[in-house]
Amino acid sequence: ITAEGDTDTDISARIGKAASVFRRMNPVWNSGKISRVLKTKLLQSVVIPTVLYACETWKITTKMRNKLDASQQRCLRKILHITYRDRITNKEIYHRTGTKPLSITITERRMRYAGHVLRMTSDRHAKTSMFWKPEGKRKRGRPKLTWRRTLQKDLESRGVSLKDAESLAKDRAEWRRLAAQCALHGRN
């Protein structure tokens, strides 16, 4: 995270590290003896965690969401030996591999993390920082995207305010359901 709180640099670095891991596993992806199911499981257990490290704390823009999903598609298409010229949709690729877009996984993880923070007592630093508002006037122009604004956008997609979310988070099963709905709605 940069001094301005920008996560784009971290996301790009994570994508680069995952691409490096993926390239080192080229003999596996090119092997005809390893099943597609096993290759997908290897991707999900080795490469994807490299991308998603600390993703719960990312404020994510549409540009970065698309960049993450595109990097995942590159990997999946390489495993399936499908090029973009084959004109097979991303949705079909996800269906064939039984995976979902990284952007959905990131939203689910952010919501799960938010649930942990919302259940904390008010004297904890993480909870205090979630509701902290800086004093004074802000600069002209559109407000910068923050993690809290990203979370609020996720919640508002389901008609829930941040204050209401605090009481909802106390019921873990209900919060899990809300997190899954926010993740799926965020892609539409």
The rounded distance, in Å, linking the Cα atoms of 59 and 64 is 9
pTM for the model: 0.86
Confidence of residue 2 (pLDDT cuts 50, 70, 90): low
Confidence of residue 3 (pLDDT cuts 50, 70, 90): low
Ramachandran angles phi, psi of 88, nearest 5°: -105, 130
Could you give the CA distance from residue 157 to residue 184 in angstroms, rounded to a whole number? 10
Could you tell me if 111 and 183 are in contact, meaning their C-beta atoms sit under 8 angstroms apart?
yes
Q: Is the dihedral of CA 4, 118, 157, 58 positive or negative?
A: positive
User: What confidence category does residue 188 fall into, taking pLDDT thresholds of 50, 70 and 90?
Assistant: very low
What's the pLDDT tens digit per position in 125-169? 888 888 787 788 878 888 788 888 888 888 888 888 888 888 888
Task: State residue 86's pLDDT score.
Answer: 93
* CB-based contact 75:41 (threshold 8 Å): no
What would the pLDDT profile of 63-91 be if each residue is shown by its tens digit? Answer: 999 999 999 999 999 999 999 899 999 99
- Judge whether 56 and 109 are in contact, CB under 8 Å: yes
Supply the mean pLDDT for the chain.
88
Q: How much is the pLDDT for 61?
A: 87
pLDDT digits (tens, 9 = 90+) for 35-58: 999 999 999 999 999 999 989 888
| 86-123: pLDDT as tens digits | 999 999 999 999 999 999 999 999 999 999 999 988 89
Report which residue type is found at 153: K
The percent of residues in the chain predicted with pLDDT above 90, rounded, is 48
Question: What Rg value do the Cα atoms of the chain yield, rounded?
Answer: 19
Read off the DSSP letter of residue 123.
Answer: T
